[in-house]
């Protein structure tokens, strides 16, 4: 009788404390993707069907030495990246799988973030200046005045970009002007701009190079005239390669010998990961900022409505280069972080959607999160964050909803310009990024944009793009344009009238005007 009682107790306890189901790893080969974002680094493992096998992620510190300045410690990012790789390899081995099943590695990274190294020591000469940093505001005006046309778009026909605090050539120029050790290394031909790969290979791909202002979009090489204008020696610049080829092999650690064979700037990587291989297809990534890219085909399209012309991808040394129009928003997810960390309105990021859902509208409140100025299509570095329309009726729920609407209104501003410049009508927007996990945001976006929003169940499309490029280079994929993922898609369709949308947009435009001219 006692034995039967023991069995019954054991059975009851096992039902209460059920073990987590064992993780089942799909068969190899695998492709690793290093995703170095603005606030974290990750190593994500994919199988050849585009499914995530496993991953490891680490947040890294942000440094704010002055108002509007943002920096990263390069040694810290490297250490966190190595740790993520080691974690993934250890998990594979714990499950009886050899890391040798990882056949290639792709890298996707912050694009305009500016890194400088000493060629001889391999050590950083300064902390990385992050893409959203605005310390170069006065320098930008000096550079504009230095051009013959006195126009921020002086080099746009060549490089696709205006003179702005955003792009890395201006940040590099600031380092040369203000950091003696960087200036000295430049004079001695010891300076390396960008990142070094595989123990000394100094290379980048066309998508990253196209975000510096220094690359000619037609030749896909560093432009002599622009380099001279910025007084930058081409000797410090990395070799420009395609987005999909073997750049070198890992020289140490559990993945020693594995080829690094794919590199894409993060937003172009998401364009590939969203399989936007046809002209007119576009995606929007919702992260710290927001970035919309539209595939414009084999010829660069010069924007007349505040967008950027950039390289979309070049999937192989002999492959045709594909171009894109881009609209960039400086502050999207960062505004939610501000509500949480600076204002204490929410305790965790997910609460912004929960609170926003409790009200049907913002009660007349508009939030323009122009913490670092306004990027596309306005390009106003004199704008600053503004909340208008507050009354005694206003609650934190209204502020939270206004935050999500701000992301959606900024996206709609870019969509309007994208439709005109590209010549393609927009009736579908593919989305990805951490913020898209909020159903509330996605529905608000569909209502404000007036188009269908498609969200894949696998949101790591940025990492997937680099993995696809890396896999292609080592023969794991024959034709990426025929590649199909197994991810399902959630669709969000507009639920408000055109009249409601128009009225809301009118209020947004008034709020935008209020945010400008503060600096």
Sequential pLDDT tens for the chain (519 residues): 444 444 544 444 444 444 555 677 888 899 999 999 888 999 999 999 999 999 999 999 999 999 889 999 999 999 999 999 999 999 999 999 999 999 999 999 999 999 999 999 989 999 999 998 999 999 999 999 999 999 999 999 999 999 999 899 999 999 999 999 999 999 999 999 987 666 678 999 999 999 999 999 999 999 999 999 999 999 999 999 999 999 999 988 899 999 999 999 999 999 999 999 999 999 999 988 899 999 999 999 989 999 999 999 999 999 999 999 999 898 999 999 999 999 999 999 999 999 999 999 999 999 999 998 998 999 898 999 999 999 999 999 999 999 999 999 999 999 999 999 988 899 999 999 889 999 999 999 999 999 999 999 988 999 999 999 999 999 998 888 888 887 889 999 999 999 999 999 999 999 999 999 998
Instruction: Express the helix, strand and coil content of the chain in percent, nearest 5 each.
Output: 35, 25, 40
Rounded Cα–Cα distance for residues 375 and 112 (Å)? 14
368 burial (CB, 10 Å; 0-12 / 13-18 / 19+) is buried
Q: What is the dihedral of CA 326, 371, 342, 349, to 10 degrees?
A: -20
Cα 92–chain centre separation: 28
Contacts (Cβ under 8 Å, ≥6 apart) of 149: none
The whole-number pLDDT of residue 480 equals 87
Rounded Cα–Cα distance for residues 307 and 327 (Å)? 5
Q: What is the dihedral of CA 184, 234, 79, 268, to 10 degrees?
A: 150
What are the φ and ψ backbone dihedral angles of 336, each rounded to 5 degrees? Answer: -70, -40
Return the closest-CA partner of residue 373 out of 144, 68, 149: 68
Distances (CA, A) of 310 to 176, 178, 218, 320, 466: 25, 29, 11, 14, 17
Rounded Cα–Cα distance for residues 396 and 410 (Å)? 21
Cβ 431 vs Cβ 284: under 8 Å: yes
The whole-number pLDDT of residue 219 equals 97
The structural domains of the chain, with segments of one domain joined by +, span 30-273
Contacts (Cβ under 8 Å, ≥6 apart) of 380: 370, 373, 374, 516
Q: What own/partner pairs with CB < 8 Å and gap ≥ 24 does 436-443 have? A: 436/286, 437/350, 438/350, 438/352, 438/353, 438/404, 439/353, 439/492, 440/353, 440/354, 440/356, 440/357, 440/404, 441/286, 441/353, 441/356, 441/404, 441/407, 441/408, 442/490, 442/492, 443/492, 443/495
The whole-number pLDDT of residue 61 equals 92
Cβ 205 vs Cβ 263: under 8 Å: yes
DSSP-based three-state secondary structure for 4 = helix
Rounded Cα–Cα distance for residues 519 and 352 (Å)? 29
Rounded Cα–Cα distance for residues 3 and 269 (Å)? 61
The whole-number pLDDT of residue 263 equals 96
Q: So what's the architecture of 30-273 in CATH?
A: 2-Layer Sandwich (3.30)
Rounded Cα–Cα distance for residues 289 and 409 (Å)? 13
Cβ 86 vs Cβ 253: under 8 Å: yes
Return the closest-CA partner of residue 166 out of 131, 129, 114: 131
Contacts (Cβ under 8 Å, ≥6 apart) of 414: 290, 292, 307, 327, 329, 376, 377
For the chain, the farthest-separated pair of C-alpha atoms sits apart, in whole angstroms, at 98
The whole-number pLDDT of residue 22 equals 67
Q: At what angle do helices 461-473 and 266-273 cross, to 10 degrees?
A: 80
């Amino acid at each position: 009788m006692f034995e039967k009682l023991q069995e019954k107790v054991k059975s009851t306890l096992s039902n209460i404390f059920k073990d987590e189901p064992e993780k089942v790893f799909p068969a190899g080969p695998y492709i690793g993707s290093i995703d170095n974002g603005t606030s974290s680094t990750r190593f994500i493992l994919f199988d050849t069907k585009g499914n995530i096998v496993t991953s490891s992620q680490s947040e890294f510190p942000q440094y704010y030495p002055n108002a509007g300045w943002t920096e990263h410690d390069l040694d810290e990012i490297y250490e966190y990246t190595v740790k993520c790789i080691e974690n993934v390899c250890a998990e594979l081995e714990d499950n009886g799988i050899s890391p040798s099943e990882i056949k290639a590695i792709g890298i996707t990274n912050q694009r305009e973030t500016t890194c400088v190294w000493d060629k001889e020591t391999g050590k950083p000469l300064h902390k990385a200046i992050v893409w959203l940093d605005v310390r170069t505001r006065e320098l930008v005006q000096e550079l504009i005045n230095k051009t013959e046309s006195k126009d921020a778009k002086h080099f746009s026909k060549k490089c696709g970009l205006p003179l702005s605090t955003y792009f890395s050539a201006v940040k590099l120029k600031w380092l040369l002007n203000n950091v003696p050790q960087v200036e000295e290394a430049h004079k001695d031909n010891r300076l390396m701009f960008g990142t070094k790969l595989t123990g000394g290979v100094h290379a980048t791909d066309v998508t990253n190079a196209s975000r510096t202002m220094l690359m000619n979009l037609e030749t896909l090489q560093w432009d002599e005239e622009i380099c001279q204008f910025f007084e930058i020696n081409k000797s410090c610049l990395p070799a420009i390669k395609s987005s999909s080829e073997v750049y070198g092999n890992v020289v140490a650690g559990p993945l020693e010998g594995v080829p690094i064979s794919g590199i894409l700037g993060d937003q172009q990587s998401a364009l590939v990961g969203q399989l936007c291989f046809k002209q007119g297809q576009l995606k929007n990534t919702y992260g710290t900022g927001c970035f919309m890219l539209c595939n414009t085909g084999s010829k660069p399209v010069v924007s007349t409505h505040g967008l950027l012309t950039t390289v979309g991808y070049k999937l192989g040394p002999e492959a045709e280069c594909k171009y894109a129009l881009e609209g960039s928003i400086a502050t999207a997810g960062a505004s939610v972080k501000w509500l949480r960390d600076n204002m204490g309105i929410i305790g965790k990021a997910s609460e912004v959607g929960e609170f926003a859902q409790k009200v049907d509208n913002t009660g007349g409140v508009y939030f323009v999160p122009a913490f670092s100025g306004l990027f596309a299509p306005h390009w106003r570095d004199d704008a600053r964050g503004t909340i208008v329309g507050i009354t005694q009726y206003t609650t934190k729920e209204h502020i939270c909803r206004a935050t999500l609407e701000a992301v959606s209104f900024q996206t709609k501003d870019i969509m309007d310009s994208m439709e005109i410049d590209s010549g393609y009508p927009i009736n579908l927007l593919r989305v990805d990024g951490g913020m898209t996990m909020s159903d509330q945001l996605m529905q608000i976006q569909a209502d404000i944009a007036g188009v269908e929003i498609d969200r894949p169940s696998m949101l790591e499309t940025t990492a997937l793009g680099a993995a696809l490029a890396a896999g292609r280079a080592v023969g794991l994929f024959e034709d990426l344009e025929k590649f199909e993922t197994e991810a399902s898609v959630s669709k969000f369709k507009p639920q408000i009238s055109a009249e409601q949308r128009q009225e809301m947009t009118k209020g947004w435009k008034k709020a935008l005007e209020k945010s400008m001219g503060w600096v």
